Amino acid sequence: MKILSVAFLSCLLLAGFARADIAVVVTVDSPLRTVSQNDLINVFMGRYRRLPTGETALPVDLSPLKARFYRALVDKDLAEINSYWARLIFSGQASPPLQMQESDEMLQYIRRNPGALGYLDAAAVPDDVRIVLQLSERQAP
């Protein structure tokens, strides 16, 4: 069923006439109920080390969704994002989010850490994580 839905959604996206949302999620154990897009940018771009609720922020990038996510979040492509981080490696003041390949792996990491923040396709959010922000994708890929 899940796979069907994903395939269906993918088909819709490929057809280019539908838009999917990306959901930003935390573990249900997290005190964070919701987060603004600006706070989310600050966390993911390395500006804030902590979440508004006080936990150390642990943002996670999910590789398959990364391009879509950053397009939705800051309207930039991956090359720009990579160039951004490349500059910061020099000073070492900020570090990029943790990179994950699989959503399951990411979900497990989220469940383990209350400060972790990840993102999923809105259609594939499991019950044991909480959606704190839903990003709408403005453009077709």
Q: How distant is the alpha carbon of residue 31 from its chain centre?
A: 18
DSSP 56: B
Among 1, 4, 16, 38, binds other proteins (CB under 8 A): 38
Q: State how far Cα 127 lies from the chain centre.
A: 17
Site string for other proteins, 74-113 (x = CB under 8 A): x-x-------x--xx-xx-xx-------------------
Residue 46 or residue 52: which is nearer to other proteins going by CB? 46
Phi-psi region of 101 (alpha: psi -120 to 50; beta: other; left: phi over 0): alpha
Q: Which residues bind other proteins (CB under 8 A)?
A: 38, 41, 45-47, 73-74, 76, 84, 87-88, 90-91, 93-94
